[in-house]
Structure 1
Amino acid sequence: MDAKLVGIYRDSNLVPATCHGAWDLSSGVPDLVSVIIPAYNRSELLVRAIQSVRDQVYRPIEIIIVDDGSIDEIEVHVAVVTESLKSDHGLSLTFRKQEHCGAAAARNLGVLCSRGAYIQFLDSDDCLLPSKISAGVAILRESFSDYTYCRAQFVDHSGALLEHYFGSLGTGTARDVTDFIWQTMCPLFRRATIEALGPWREDLVNFQDWEYGARLELLGFTREYDPTVRAIFSQHAVGAMGAGALTEDKLRSIWCAYREISLLARAIKRLGPHLKYRLTRRMIFLAVQCGARSNWGLLQQIEAEIKQLKLNYFIVTLVVTLLGLFRASSVCRMLEAWGDRRMAND
């Protein structure tokens, strides 16, 4: 990490807060890996995720499950699993509950309850392959990097492997701030990295991992890329935030993520021309998405805040103003489809 940038960040009002109180982490237990799994219903998928941690060749591991106010019988399933773990002295399981505040708050509570020198996040619908943690720990032991991350392969609802992956090397440019170079389960973090970075943003319903990764990049946290597939990302519609319609809450969450990263980049003086350009493109596309859903009120808010951020705002304001003036949702839908193709090939 860049200590100077982290110092500026901490002195600003841009460090996210958590509903669980002060971000005060105790010293980590050497060699121990804390695997933090937020869970909201989806008991069967959760059991599968836990099993993938049990299958790790590495020990010692503590599993911390945070129930985000589930209404199914998740506690019963976890109790059965906990009983079966008693014979594995290198593996423990802790179960905590919170009111329904979202996955980010659940991850934050898990971190505050953790004891490990290393921290691994895992969503309840995804899985780690058996070598995931051992490979990550080995890399961090041999380097001074703040975290390491691997590739994750997509599987469909039937479990069939797809030729689509999360996890890429990165370019060493502003693209590493604005692009998804990993998914939640890909990294293994040092405890000190998590403490310095601060909590996950609890006001985001989606784009949580994008904002978290962008913060890491801006603040100069160093990483090691492992090109091996060591995790599985499940595509399904069972309570997945990424599935379903792009609602107003999701649009607002995306805008909040863009805004906070723009403010951070400006505060630490890393908002160069390339990053301005990348963020501007994303904001224009978000404005188009708002227009495609006739969400003209949010589109106007985006226009006003873009002016305050001064991100090439003349071009953005012109585009956004024209969209709001003519209010042609059909045109916005055409632009959205075109933009989706451009983003996919970019």
Structure 2
Amino acid sequence: MYIEGKVSIIVPVYNAENFLNRTVDSILAQTYENWELLLADDCSTDQSRDIMSSYTDERIHCFYCEKNSGPAGARNLALHHATGQYIAFLDADDFWLPQKLEKQISFMKKGNYPFSFTSYEFADANAVRSGTVAHAPERVGYEEILKSSTIAPSTAVLDRNQVDTALIYMPEKVRLEDAATWMQIMKTGITAYGLDEILTIYCRHKGAYSGNKLDAVWGKWKLYRNVEKFSFFKAAYYVCVNTWAAVVRRL
């Protein structure tokens, strides 16, 4: 059904002309070469599409949303075309270190892990690394993901031989679509395993969708209330715990 050992890398693109080259180049520099890159443009109004089409590597494939669908819609479009055993996500403004896939796939094979993630370092919009690191814990299950948004999308890899592809499709029109996806996977009993090594650089910049802190808190509230169907007080508890964990992670 899937090509064994192949990694399908999914990158949603929206007005990413300032950093898309850096992101794609970090994939081209990977020491693990059995991959395909699925770029899904979400109706960009800048030069993102031109940048996407400028790459001639046969492993790179471009797809285009018919209407603006948000990060989840773009990722789902790409996932529909994925052929690899492994699904990896990378945001268009982040980038990987060269041994990211090699080390992470080896880690997953050695432990027979269905779902893994890595530590990451924060950087600014110019990719200047800050020295602030979000370390990956040893493992994360459903209860842990409720309390802390530990798994950054750009660090995640899933093995479709062990995780149903239907669970990887992200709910659309949900503010924290990645966290919602991890939750729907983990509710089946699947655990994610952390590789505590900096292999991803998470770039923060003005205008980033994930950078609005108040919006993020509101998104967590709606996630717990509308998606997880928690009571008012249970949702409030997890919003507080999760928000505090996010503050600590950035110290």
Q: Which residue of 2 aligns with 1:281?
A: 237
The structure richer in strand per residue is 2
**Distance in 1, Cα, partners of 2:243 & 2:83:** 42
After superposing on structure 2, the runs of 4+ consecutive aligned residues of structure 1 that deviate more than 6 Å are 339-343
The structure 1 residue matched to 2:165, chosen from 195, 202, 208, is: 195
How far 1:254 sits from its partner (Å)? 3.1
Establish whether residue 175 from structure 1 lines up as the match of residue 144 from structure 2.
Answer: yes
Establish whether residue 95 from structure 1 lines up as the match of residue 49 from structure 2.
Answer: no
Q: Which residue of 1 aligns with 2:224?
A: 258
The structure richer in helix per residue is 1
Question: CA 1:142 to 1:171, structure 2 compared with 1: closer, same or farther past 3 Å?
Answer: closer
RMSD, aligned CA? 2.9
Write out per-residue CA displacement over residues 21-61 of structure 1, whole angstroms, 9 at most, x where no aligned residue. xxxxxx21111111110001112311111000000000111
Of 144-153 and 157-166, the range deviating more from structure 2: 157-166
Question: CA 1:279 to 1:202, structure 2 compared with 1: closer, same or farther past 3 Å?
Answer: same
**Distance in 2, Cα, partners of 1:234 & 1:256:** 25
AA aligned opposite 1:164: T
Please say if residues 17 and 48 of structure 2, whose CA atoms lie closer than 8 Å, have aligned partners that are also in contact: yes
Please say if residues 33 and 117 of structure 1, whose CA atoms lie closer than 8 Å, have aligned partners that are also in contact: yes
Establish whether residue 125 from structure 1 lines up as the match of residue 28 from structure 2.
Answer: no
**Distance in 1, Cα, partners of 2:194 & 2:213:** 33
AA aligned opposite 2:169: P
Q: Which has the higher contact order (CA 8 A, sep 6+)?
A: 2
Of 41-50 and 193-202, the range deviating more from structure 2: 193-202
Q: Which has the larger radius of gyration?
A: 1
Aligned residue runs from structure 1 range 78-157, under 5 A: 78-81=52-55, 83=56, 85=57, 92-98=59-65, 99-157=67-125
Aligned residues: 246
AA aligned opposite 2:8: S
- TM-score, with structure 1 as normaliser: 0.64
- TM-score, with structure 2 as normaliser: 0.86
Aligned residue runs from structure 1 range 8-23, under 5 A: none
Please say if residues 236 and 243 of structure 1, whose CA atoms lie closer than 8 Å, have aligned partners that are also in contact: yes
Q: Which residue of 2 aligns with 1:51?
A: 25
**Distance in 2, Cα, partners of 1:340 & 1:66:** 30
Please say if residues 175 and 278 of structure 1, whose CA atoms lie closer than 8 Å, have aligned partners that are also in contact: no
AA aligned opposite 2:247: A
Please say if residues 8 and 88 of structure 2, whose CA atoms lie closer than 8 Å, have aligned partners that are also in contact: yes
Instruction: For structure 2, list consecutive stretches of 5 or more residues without a partner in the other structure.
Output: none
Please say if residues 215 and 261 of structure 1, whose CA atoms lie closer than 8 Å, have aligned partners that are also in contact: no
Establish whether residue 61 from structure 1 lines up as the match of residue 24 from structure 2.
Answer: no
Establish whether residue 240 from structure 1 lines up as the match of residue 240 from structure 2.
Answer: no
Please say if residues 142 and 183 of structure 2, whose CA atoms lie closer than 8 Å, have aligned partners that are also in contact: no
SS of the aligned residue for 2:15 comes to coil
Please say if residues 177 and 213 of structure 1, whose CA atoms lie closer than 8 Å, have aligned partners that are also in contact: no
**Distance in 2, Cα, partners of 1:220 & 1:229:** 27
**Distance in 1, Cα, partners of 2:224 & 2:126:** 34
